[in-house]
Structure 1
Amino acid sequence: MSERKMAEREIGSHFVSVAGTELAYTVEGVGTPLLIVGSSIYYPRTFSQGLRRSCSLVCADLPHFVRLDSKFIHTSINFDTYAMCIEAIRLAAGLERVAVVGHSHHGNVALEYAKRFPQNVSHVVLICSPPVNIAQTVHAAEQYWALHASEERREALEMRRSSLVDKDQLESLSPADAYVRQYVADAPLYWNDPNYDASWLWDGMAFDMEAIRAFRDLYQEYELNWDAESLIAPVLIVMGEHDYAVPHTLWNRVLPSLENVAFRVFSKSGHTPQLEQPEEFDHLILDWITANNRLPLA
């Protein structure tokens, strides 16, 4: 089946039952398929319409970013479960070998999937993903902020945090709403524009904070474990110069030991380069896939 025919047939929203819950995935655009893992609501908003003219974007839920059934077992959240979810969606979407894309910690999930199903992955794209555990990431972020954050950015963070609703009001919100409110207030840590309002990205999102915590717990003792035998696909790592949550400097010690990797830092981006510098991002990913297209895509 050609990419164009596959994309035309599958355009829209779809669902698959896996790992004790129902996961959605959306298909938009025509061309080279990109399987973007994490959320079928949040992530389609971060990629440009221009990219959809060259790629079929398959944006897939993972269990921590959906409304879970009360019977869902949160201890089942691990990289094996996530790999099973991604594989089920790949099959349901009719994809063969596919480029797998993950943003932030979802990039680590994409990488772990590629290691478990190497025969099904042609390329891996990590966007602002850390190569280390949470404690190391936080420590590096604090150092990067101290060295590189402008006075304007520091003042913006202080002002935004002080204007956040008071503690009693924050506690009156649902845990998920409080999580989003805090993320939006911390814009100077995440965006090139320190006053960017990211609230629109979260509209319509329903998720379980216990599942979010279980997801984050995977990174308490996370190790990259990158080797050529388990990871055969080429990897593109995209970072933002003004990402003060997951600084690009985290990769400095890791990169020299990695093979088959391209690394790029976007100078006018924070934690979401595909949204902040869409034209540059689109050119980069399309050119890189073309240059590394030795494995057939679905």
Structure 2
Amino acid sequence: MNKNQSVISDGFELNYCIKGQGTPILVVGSSVYYSRLFSENLYKKFQFIFLDHRGFVAPPRALTPEDYTLDKVLDDIEIARQSLNLEDFIILGHSGHAFMALEYARKYPRHVQKVILLNSAPTNSEERQQQSFSFFNETAELERKKQFEKDIALLESDIQKDPTRRFVHMCIRMGAHSFYDYTFNAAYMWDGVYTNLPIIDHLWGEAFGKLDLIQSLKNVNKQVFLGLGRYDYLVSPVSLWDSVDDTYTNVTKVIFEQSGHNPMFEEPQLFDSTLFEWINKR
């Protein structure tokens, strides 16, 4: 099954795309972007539901700060869950969306079977972001640094040409921080992805900076898969997660050694087999 539909929450038209059959996995983010990242092999075993949140759809009205809150996003996910009749499902959040996935599991735990968190730092505070940049500058190979300098020099002109896609331009030009293959151009992945900048700016710039996923994990009574990329300089270093050790008996932490920010795309066979084994482990 492969279909595109939408659900209305608080006036926002949240599109979703369903691929595959089996245990439902709800992927929070852009239904356009994320449906391009996972392998067809996974859709033979699981039903992936790629759901927009309000940061990736056109606003239905003039927005107020109350429209930006993480709680509103979590409520949107719950309304979508009800609309989709999901009674026992896995929630998946990648990058900033890991904060959404875990906080949803805390606020609405009843129907969540398991939680998948991919490629996030424990917090998105300004201090942590600077730490990641420092780690890149101190440890990345010279050619990767040169590629980054070449790409990031184009960011300002990209934004001047199309300021409404500032978030997308930044994601594309940060490729040397994002991929094991630092020459990879991810521009096509972002084709047709709408970004609602006031909401994205608030969530990434403020809400996620006040959260600490390591602390939140202590209050989640679910099995959690934590997937990280060794070369994911956007949220580096992976040692930020060192305190999540064997005492976190509900957390399975996996580091993909030849991946950056997107192991599902960069190491699909290993990612698929690792995820399949974890999901089917009771």
Specify the alignment match of 1:231 in structure 2: 220
The answer as to 2:246 corresponding to 1:289 is no
What per-residue deviation string (whole Å, max 9, x for no partner) do you get for residues 204-256 of structure 1?
1112211111211212322333255x412100000001000112222113446
Distance 2:188 2:162 in 1: 18
Query: Which segment is superposed worse, 109-118 or 250-259?
Result: 250-259
Separation of aligned partners in 2, 1:262 and 1:202 = 30
Amino acid at match of 1:220: G
Q: Distance in 2 between matches of 1:85 and 1:268?
A: 35
TM-score, normalization by structure 2 = 0.92
Counterpart mapping for 1:61-72 below 5 A: 61-72=52-63
Structure 1 position 150 matched with structure 2 position 138? no
8 A contact 1:137–1:250 mirrored in 2: no
Alpha-carbon deviation of 1:184?
1.2
Aligned ranges for residues 1-298 of structure 1 at < 5 Å? 8=1, 11-162=2-153, 164=154, 167=156, 169-216=157-204, 217-224=206-213, 225-226=215-216, 230-247=219-236, 248-255=238-245, 258-292=248-282
For the residue of structure 2 that corresponds to 1:122, the secondary structure is strand
* 3-state SS, counterpart of residue 122 of structure 2: coil
Structure-2 change in CA distance of 1:172 and 1:79 (3 Å): closer
Percent of aligned pairs sharing the same letter: 29
Cα separation, 1, equivalents of 2:61 and 2:42:
38
The amino acid of 2:48's aligned partner reads L
Give the deviation of 1:158 after TM superposition.
Answer: 1.4
Instruction: Report the alpha carbon displacement of residue 30 of structure 1 after superposing the two structures with TM.
Output: 1.1
What whole-Å deviation, never above 9, does each CA across 1:18-70 have from its counterpart, x for those lacking one? 13311111111111111000111110101110111111110001001111123
* Paired AA for residue 128 in structure 2: T
What amino acid is the match of 2:40? Q
Moved more, 73-82 or 202-211: 73-82
| Unpaired segments ≥5 residues, structure 2 | none
Structure 1 residue ranges without an equivalent (≥5)? 1-7, 293-298
The amino acid that maps onto 1:97 is D
What RMSD in Å do the two structures reach over aligned CA positions?
1.8
Matches of 2:202 and 2:113, distance apart in 1: 29
SS in structure 2 opposite 1:207?
Answer: coil
CA contact (8 A) 2:68 2:198 kept: no
User: Which residue identity is paired with 2:166?
Assistant: A
Aligned residues: 279
Q: Which moved more, 1:111-120 or 1:63-72?
A: 63-72
Give 1:5's aligned residue.
none
Query: 1: distance between equivalents of 2:275 and 2:138?
Result: 30
TM superposition score normalised by structure 1: 0.88
Partners in 1 of 2:158 and 2:274 — Cα distance?
Answer: 40
Query: What is the Cα deviation at residue 93 of structure 1?
Result: 1.6
Cα shift at 1:84: 1.0
Superposition deviation, residue 72 in structure 1:
3.3
Secondary structure at 1:213's aligned position in 2?
helix
Structure 1 residues 240, 157: closer, same or farther in 2, change over 3 A? Answer: same
Cα distance in 2, alignment partners of residues 249 and 234 from structure 1? 21
SS at match of 1:118: coil
CA contact (8 A) 2:17 2:49 kept: yes
